[in-house]
Amino acid sequence: MFLAVINQWNTSFKSERFYSKGKEKGDKKKKGPVSINESEIEELVNVSRLKEDLQRGLDQLKSDYMKHLSLRSASGSIENLQVDFEGETFTLQEIAQIGRKGSQLIVVNLSGFPTVMKDVLKAINDSGMGLNPQQDGTTIFIPVPKVTKEYRESLAKNAKTLFQKFKDHSRDIQNKYIREVKKKEKEVSSDQAHSVQQQIHSMAELYVSEGEKVMIDKQNELLGKD
């Protein structure tokens, strides 16, 4: 359904537009709808690339939620945890031996790749899984949290943290393309340049709104709400 909305932007999507000070000076309440006109935007930036960049961020948020924020995430997805090391990305199972002692302890052996220890610890701490890794030499011990109310609340909080990361990423993409427009301001009228900038903002806001819905659904799932 979301993709269908995206495809209809040329003709139907409307969002709030903040008019330039010259047009609305002294009247902050006057805001009108702005139609997303991809043909107009395309004159200044690559619309397809803009949408792909925004969609990639949303897809990453959904992937992070699915892989790392479930009540079984600690024991079920640690193998596929992504670790960045010297400009490359590896899954944890590619660089470590992963075992378990009972149902409450995961053991990660990095004796074959000790130089990546710092990066593995960072990946675990930043994963949003609510884990507390403990290092002992080239081994990392990861207690698997019991599913308590506090643990559920911790994961729900992490869901908001990951959403904020996605939101900031979307803002960065928005600003990147707005900078492209500003570089071409002398090639078009000031009204068109302003209009395109506002449309780019509206596009980014649509993806952020969709990401917020995904976050709320995930939080409700983690907290056991309907």
Which residues, listed in sequence order, are joined to residue 108 by a DSSP beta bridge?
Answer: 98, 140
- Write the CB contacts of 142 (distance below 8 Å, at least 6 apart in sequence): 74, 78, 105, 106, 107, 108, 124, 131, 132, 133, 134
Looking at the fold, whether 156 and 91 belong to one and the same domain comes out as no
The average pLDDT across 14-26 equals: 41
Q: Which helix or strand (DSSP H or E) is residue 23 part of?
A: helix 21-24
What pLDDT is attached to residue 131? 85
| The pLDDT value given to residue 144 | 83
Q: Which of 8-17, 26-35, 144-153 has the highest mean pLDDT?
A: 144-153
- Higher-confidence residue of 126 and 162: namely 162
51 in Cβ contact with 10 (< 8 Å)? no
Q: Are strands 97-100 and 134-136 parallel, antiparallel or unpaired?
A: unpaired
In a domain, 183, yes or no: yes
Q: In total, how many domains does the chain have?
A: 2
| CATH number of the structural domain spanning residue 209 | 1.10.132.20
Helix (H, G, I), strand (E, B) or coil at 82: strand
Domain C-terminal end among 123, 145, 167: 145
Name the residue range of residue 98's domain: 73-145
Q: Are residues 193 and 129 in the same domain?
A: no
63 plus 82 within the same structural domain: no
Q: How far is it, in rounded angstroms, from Cα 131 to Cα 121?
A: 10
DSSP secondary structure code for residue 205 in this structure: H
Question: Kind of pairing, strands 14-17 and 32-35?
Answer: antiparallel
- For residues 154 and 113, membership in a common domain is answered with no
**Cβ(92)–Cβ(78) under 8 Å?**
yes
Q: Choose the final residue of a domain: 145, 160, 175.
A: 145
**Taking all residues of the chain, what is their mean pLDDT, rounded to a whole number?**
83
115 with 221, same domain: the answer is no
75 pLDDT more than 60: no
Question: In this structure, what DSSP letter does residue 12 have?
Answer: T
Of 145, 161, 186, the residue that ends a domain is 145
Q: What is the pLDDT of residues 166-187, one digit of tens each?
A: 999 999 999 999 999 999 988 8
Domain check: are 77 and 65 in the same one? no
Instruction: Tell me the mean pLDDT in the region 141-166.
Output: 90
* pLDDT at 3 exceeding the cut of 80: no
Rounded to whole angstroms, how far apart are CA atoms 20 and 24? 6
Residues 159, 221 within the same domain: yes
For the packed helices 190-223 and 149-183, what is the interaxial angle rounded to 10 degrees?
170
